[in-house]
Amino acid sequence: DAGITQSPRYKITETGRQVTLMCHQTWSHSYMFWYRQDLGHGLRLIYYSAAADITDKGEVPDGYVVSRSKTENFPLTLESATRSQTSVYFCASSEGTGRNEKLFFGSGTQLSVL
Amino acid sequence: GENVEQHPSTLSVQEGDSAVIKCTYSDSASNYFPWYKQELGKRPQLIIDIRSNVGEKKDQRIAVTLNKTAKHFSLHITETQPEDSAVYFCAAKIGYNKLIFGAGTRLAVHP
């Protein structure tokens, strides 16, 4: 869905460098999520946010930092990239609880750490 | 800890056959169970979901069943078609609004 966009689409970096992946949604959804996708592991939750300035850890938060100063943006930063962080990263958003729990995913960022 | 197990990891069927994917979850408080389909190179998209107050839900050729006592739920696809070939993920809601996914099932439908 065009309402949630990720950038960059592809990124190659080196071990030890800081990398920031961007996520922007235009629906004013309350909830936003970051997942990483690796073969054999499916989609693993890194961090999520219930609203601006509210974030919480997911299943695999180590090595990542998030912020949410505005409702529409949810950047993910790898402070010192490692090879194990080579993955496809998906951002997602949802309205929240009740009848509107459907996740809308971005198109993903393929990150390679050399 | 919180986890969702999904089986099988790969599934190969002939066109027209049925396909069944099974998942189990650990958190007895989970009350929302969606299924996502991811075609090659694309983003995951919701295909069907079920809530804990319902035992079964159907949408054309797709159905999901839930057994709360056993903490497992299943996706059933009938009359499979080549365009059903994709990776399917089950998920369970943990806590207020955190979705934990299974490892995925790669379904191949052969003409």
A18: which 2 tokens?
């800081």
Cβ pair A102:B36 closer than 8 A:
no
Cβ pair A108:B89 closer than 8 A:
no
Would you give the DSSP letter of residue B59?
E
Q: What confidence tens digit (pLDDT) does each residue in A92-109 have?
A: 999 876 667 899 999 999
Q: Does A97 touch chain B (CB under 8 A)?
A: yes
Indicate the residue of B45, B97, B104 with minimum beta-carbon distance to A42: B104
Q: Looking at this protein, which amino acid is placed at residue A6?
A: Q
Would you say residue B98 has pLDDT above 80?
yes
CB pairs A-B closer than 8 Å = 55
Q: Kindly list the residues from chain B whose CB atom is less than 8 angstroms away from the CB atom of residue A58.
A: 98
Q: What confidence tens digit (pLDDT) does each residue in A10-69 have?
A: 999 999 999 999 999 999 899 999 999 998 889 999 999 999 999 999 999 999 999 999
Number of other residues whose CB lies within 10 A of the CB of residue B84: 20
- Calculate how close chain B gets to A90, using CA atoms only, in Å: 8
- Calculate how close chain A gets to B102, using CA atoms only, in Å: 6
Determine contact, residues A33/A51, Cβ cutoff 8 Å: no
Q: What confidence tens digit (pLDDT) does each residue in B60-72 have?
A: 999 999 999 999 9
Distance CA B77, CA A84 (A): 35
Cβ pair B101:A35 closer than 8 A:
yes
Task: State the DSSP string of A1-39.
Answer: -TTEEEE-SEEEE-TT--EEEEEEESS--SEEEEEEEET
Distance CA B61, CA A65 (A): 42
Supply φ then ψ for residue A41, to 5 degrees.
Answer: -115, -5
**How confident is the model over B20-27, as a mean pLDDT?**
96
Q: SS3 of B82, please?
A: helix
Indicate the residue of B9, B46, B103 with minimum beta-carbon distance to A103: B46
Q: What is the pLDDT at residue B96?
A: 74
- Calculate how close chain A gets to B89, using CA atoms only, in Å: 7
Determine contact, residues B59/B77, Cβ cutoff 8 Å: no
Q: Kindly list the residues from chain B whose CB atom is less than 8 angstroms away from the CB atom of residue A41.
A: 103
Question: In sequence order, what are the residues at sequence separation of 6 or more whose Cβ sits closer than 8 angstroms to the Cβ of residue A80?
Answer: A16, A17, A18, A63
Q: Kindly list the residues from chain B whose CB atom is less than 8 angstroms away from the CB atom of residue A48.
A: 97-98
**How confident is the model over B16-28, as a mean pLDDT?**
96
